[in-house]
Chain A
Amino acid sequence: DVKVTQSSRYLVKRTGEKVFLECVQDMDHENMFWYRQDPGLGLRLIYFSYDVKMKEKGDIPEGYSVSREKKERFSLILESASTNQTSMYLCASRQTGGDGYTFGSGTRLTVV
């Protein structure tokens, strides 16, 4: 069964900490995405990647960075976590030209 795996379902971090959210997919997809989801705002794209070592800013990249050293792994980094980064974070992957996304189960991050 193909899937996208996010390393944590729930995380609690302190303000100012560096936070790593990991995402791994086993479908050999070229494209990987990080979204955050907030009530009333829907899914918003943070960063995406079309290939290894390639990254593009999405709609809300401020305060985040990403790393894609291997095709199957796409990491989201919060350099210095802040309370306004408390959110649900969703990773997704997609084959170029493919039918749709495959999403991970999400990481609910709380920054205190």
Chain B
Amino acid sequence: KNEVEQSPQNLTAQEGEFITINCSYSVGISALHWLQQHPGGGIVSLFMLSSGKKKHGRLIATINIQEKHSSLHITASHPRDSAVYICAVRNTGNQFYFGTGTSLTVIP
């Protein structure tokens, strides 16, 4: 069993739709990261969360420590949001665990 589970694995949306990607984890964590990987392979760190909620532009990330769950929301989705979104957690021993990613395609 993976320490980090993401859902859905694949997601197709129409431009303008509100999108949610979910991440559940089974280890005690000190932080959770959301990463974005574009088709060329480069990965960008979107958020680091240890509690509550963070917002950057059209992206919102939330975390519920008690439920061991995080969500990444994209409002007013756009084709340029098409990418793989990866959830990663850092446990209290400084080890990182990665989800297998959610592949998002936004259709114009």
Contact = CB atoms under 8 A, between A and B. Distances in A.
By secondary structure, the B interface counts as strand
A106 B44 CA distance: 12
A62 interface: no
Given A40-B100, A45-B96, A99 B48 contact: yes
B88 to A, nearest CB: 8
A101 B40 contact: no
B100 A41 contact: yes
A26 to B, nearest CB: 16
A108 interface: yes
A42 B103 CA distance: 12
A106 B101 contact: no
B27 to A, nearest CB: 14
Contacts of A88: 41
Given A42-B98, A45-B96, A100 B48 contact: yes
A86 interface: no
Contacts of B76: none
B51 to A, nearest CB: 14
Contacts of A24: none
B54 to A, nearest CB: 10
A100 B33 CA distance: 7
Interface string A12-48: 0000000000000000000001000000111111000
A64 interface: no
Interface in B5-46: 33, 35, 40-45
B86 interface: yes
A106 B40 CA distance: 9
B86 A42 contact: yes
Interface of B: 33, 35, 40-45, 47-48, 86, 88, 96, 98-101
